[in-house]
Amino acid sequence: MIYVNLDVMLAKRRMSLTQLSEKIGLTIANLSVLKTGKAKAVRFSTLDAICRALDCQPGDILEFREDEDDG
The answer to whether residue 53 is domain-embedded is yes
19-54 tens-digit pLDDT: 999 999 999 999 999 999 999 999 999 999 999 999
The answer to whether residue 70 is domain-embedded is no
The answer to whether residue 32 is domain-embedded is yes
The domain in which residue 7 lies consists of 2-64
Query: What is the pTM assigned to this prediction?
Result: 0.88
- Phi-psi bin for 9: left (phi > 0), alpha (psi -120 to 50), beta? alpha
Counted residue by residue, the chain has a size of 71
Domain count, the chain: 1
Rounded CA separation 1/19 (Å): 28
CATH number at residue 53: 1.10.260.40
The answer to whether residue 71 is domain-embedded is no
